[in-house]
């Protein structure tokens, strides 16, 4: 069946399968993604437990999930850059560094969000 013939539930299911393939590939090939998944497995339930009210809970779990999303995009950028330009090139290095910086900024936001919400309760 051609991809243009997929409609409705079949298209949604195919998209779901491709997404699962992407998650599996990133988990298999990227150590940083595995570490961030481990972090999310710990902090997402913890955020749901420690957050007071829905807004705090959403804030405490959103940034760890965004870190995973950014890591997936960063890994995709790195894979494409490595495929297109296997030898070192300044622009390739810059693209990889920028992807890494995006993940770093979201990790900072995890720390800031958790600190601003939870530190006042323990001080």
- Which is catalytic among the residues 30, 36, 71, 90? 71
Active site residue 5: no
Predicted local confidence at residue 16, as pLDDT:
94
Q: With the CA atoms of 79, 80, 84 and 88 taken in that order, what torsion angle do they form, in degrees rounded to the nearest 10?
A: -50
Prediction pTM value: 0.86
Predicted local confidence at residue 88, as pLDDT:
86
CATH number, domain 31-122: 1.10.287.3610
* 6-34 per-position pLDDT tens digit: 678 999 999 999 999 999 999 999 999 99
Query: Phi first, then psi: what are they for 8, rounded to 5°?
Result: 60, -130
For the chain, which ranges sit under pLDDT 50? none
Predicted local confidence at residue 5, as pLDDT:
62
Residue ranges in the chain assigned as alpha helix (H): 9-29, 31-50, 53-84, 90-122
Residue pointed to by tokens 């770093």: 104
Predicted local confidence at residue 110, as pLDDT:
97
Where are the domains positioned within the chain? 31-122
DSSP calls for 101-115: HHHHHHHHHHHHHHH
Predicted local confidence at residue 19, as pLDDT:
95
């Amino acid at each position: 069946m051609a991809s243009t013939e997929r409609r409705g539930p079949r298209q949604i299911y195919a998209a779901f399968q491709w997404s699962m393939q992407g998650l599996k590939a990133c988990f298999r090939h990227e150590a940083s993604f595995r570490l961030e998944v481990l972090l999310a497995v710990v902090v997402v339930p913890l955020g749901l437990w420690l957050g007071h009210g829905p807004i705090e809970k959403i804030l405490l779990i959103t940034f760890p999930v965004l870190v995973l999303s950014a890591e997936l995009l960063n890994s995709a950028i790195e894979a494409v850059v490595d495929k297109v330009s296997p030898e070192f090139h300044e622009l390739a290095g810059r693209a990889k560094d920028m992807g890494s910086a995006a993940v770093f900024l979201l990790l900072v936001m995890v720390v800031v969000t958790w600190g601003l919400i939870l530190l006042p309760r323990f001080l």
